[in-house]
């Protein structure tokens, strides 16, 4: 089948109304700017390309930093943004001003706190300059590059902001724009009191404290990753508690130090891990760095973080 394209938008493919029984009204054809003969697939490609060009021309928007950012098809031109090592960061205050104008942003020592409500749900959020995570409704969300300061405004990755506000994020491959859409129902991130499994949190926070209570946050997360990687592996038990108490695996389970109350940083690390924080996605073993052990002799070395060496 051959089709002839004789107008920029196929004469807009106007619907013909008021058609007389014996006389069809022909659509008005504008002067052609594209003359092409091809199959149906080629026709669709031409129309799609013309539609995209028309849309971009109609927008004619200068996006800050060249990063197109939209919420429900509205360009967020007043939101500060920046590419940071491959991640799009947005300033929390200006993003909330656009997306949640009812939100109250308060300056606190070292950061900002946010309160918002839609009448039925609430959001309580804290962001601190240089922190490795952001807290929202009792959830702890890991930021691999941390909180960034954009000309005096604290910024976090747009995908983290979308998660907190329960927005659907789509990468528009045609334009390179980031498009966010409001989802029906839940307005804010599910509270930690509901999201975190109580038993998993209890044991994970304690093994992190017993094994790495004096280690940096990344080292604590890595220990948590070892536990969760084992849970996910068919070679080990499938719950946090059963992994920890597997015979001859974690010494704190045998010594009893597993029962000590964890410090604050270990509690945070456990929540970060349960919320998806990963620094080592394949580590299954660890020990004191330099120790001659089963893992050091028989398993593939992954990394050393703080005082611990990790193995796959």
Instruction: Clarify whether residues 78 and 144 are in a common domain.
Output: yes
Q: Is the pLDDT of residue 229 over 70?
A: yes
Q: At which of 169, 193, 217 does a domain end?
A: 193
Instruction: Clarify whether residues 169 and 219 are in a common domain.
Output: no
Instruction: Clarify whether residues 167 and 207 are in a common domain.
Output: no
Mean pLDDT of 39-56: 59
Label residue 46 by pLDDT band (50, 70, 90): low
The residue that leads in pLDDT, 229 or 60, is 229
For residue 60, the model assigns a pLDDT of 74
Instruction: Clarify whether residues 248 and 212 are in a common domain.
Output: yes
Work out how many domains the chain is built from and give that number. Answer: 3
| CATH number, domain containing residue 162 | 3.30.457.10
Q: Is the pLDDT of residue 112 over 70?
A: yes
pLDDT tens-digit readout, 114-163: 999 999 999 999 999 999 999 999 999 999 999 999 999 999 999 999 99
Look at 46-50, 201-205, 215-219 and tell me which has the smallest mean pLDDT: 46-50
Instruction: Clarify whether residues 97 and 208 are in a common domain.
Output: no
Show the domain range for 116: 64-193
Give the torsion through C-alpha atoms of 254, 259, 264, 268, to 10 deg.
60
For residue 158, the model assigns a pLDDT of 98
Instruction: Clarify whether residues 122 and 179 are in a common domain.
Output: yes
Label residue 56 by pLDDT band (50, 70, 90): low
Label residue 1 by pLDDT band (50, 70, 90): very low
Q: At which of 158, 193, 228 does a domain end?
A: 193
Instruction: Clarify whether residues 137 and 231 are in a common domain.
Output: no
Instruction: Clarify whether residues 130 and 165 are in a common domain.
Output: yes
For residue 289, the model assigns a pLDDT of 94
Q: Buried b / exposed e across 99-109, counting CB within 10 Å, b at 16+?
A: bbeebebeeee
Instruction: Clarify whether residues 77 and 188 are in a common domain.
Output: yes
Task: Tell me how far apart the alpha carbons of residues 45 and 149 are, in angstroms, rounded to a whole number.
Answer: 43
For residue 278, the model assigns a pLDDT of 97
| CATH number, domain containing residue 239 | 1.10.10.2520
Q: Is the pLDDT of residue 203 over 90?
A: yes
Q: Is the pLDDT of residue 53 over 60?
A: no
For residue 41, the model assigns a pLDDT of 67
Q: Is the pLDDT of residue 49 over 80?
A: no
In degrees rounded to 5, what are phi and psi of residue 269? -60, -40
Mean pLDDT of 180-194: 96
Instruction: Clarify whether residues 203 and 138 are in a common domain.
Output: no
Instruction: Clarify whether residues 110 and 171 are in a common domain.
Output: yes
pTM, rounded to two decimals: 0.80
CA distances from 33 to 4, 46, 50, 229, 293 (A): 12, 12, 11, 59, 74
Instruction: Clarify whether residues 47 and 69 are in a common domain.
Output: no
pLDDT tens-digit readout, 61-107: 889 999 999 999 999 999 999 999 999 999 999 999 999 999 999 99
For residue 48, the model assigns a pLDDT of 63
Q: Is the dihedral of CA 223, 225, 229, 230 positive or negative?
A: positive
């Amino acid at each position: 089948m051959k089709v002839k394209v004789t107008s920029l938008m196929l004469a807009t493919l106007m619907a013909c109304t008021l058609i007389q029984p014996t006389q069809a009204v022909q659509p008005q054809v504008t002067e052609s700017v594209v003359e092409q003969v091809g199959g149906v697939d080629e026709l669709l490609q031409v129309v799609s390309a013309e539609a995209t060009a028309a849309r971009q021309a109609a927008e004619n928007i200068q996006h800050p930093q060249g990063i197109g950012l939209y919420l429900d098809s509205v360009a967020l031109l007043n939101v500060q943004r920046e590419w940071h090592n491959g991640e799009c960061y947005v300033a929390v205050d200006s993003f909330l001003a656009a997306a949640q104008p009812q939100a109250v942003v308060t300056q606190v020592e070292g950061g900002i706190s946010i309160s918002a409500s839609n009448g039925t749900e609430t959001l309580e959020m804290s962001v601190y300059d240089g922190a490795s995570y952001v807290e929202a409704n009792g959830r702890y969300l890991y930021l691999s590059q941390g909180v960034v300061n954009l000309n005096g405004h604290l910024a976090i990755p747009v995908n983290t902001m979308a998660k907190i506000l329960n927005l659907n994020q789509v990468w528009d491959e045609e334009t390179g724009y980031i498009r966010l859409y409001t989802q029906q129902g839940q307005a804010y991130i599910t509270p930690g009191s509901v999201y975190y499994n109580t038993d998993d949190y209890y044991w994970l926070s304690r093994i992190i404290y017993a094994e790495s209570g004096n280690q940096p946050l990344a080292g604590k997360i890595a220990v948590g990753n070892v536990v969760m990687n084992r849970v996910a592996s068919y070679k080990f038990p499938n719950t946090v508690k059963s992994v920890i108490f597997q015979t001859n695996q974690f010494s704190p389970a045998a010594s009893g130090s597993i029962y000590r109350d964890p410090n604050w940083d270990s509690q945070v690390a456990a929540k970060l891990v349960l919320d998806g924080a990963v620094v080592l996605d394949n580590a299954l073993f660890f020990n004191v760095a330099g120790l001659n052990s089963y893992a050091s002799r028989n398993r593939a070395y992954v990394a050393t973080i703080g005082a611990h060496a990790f193995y796959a």
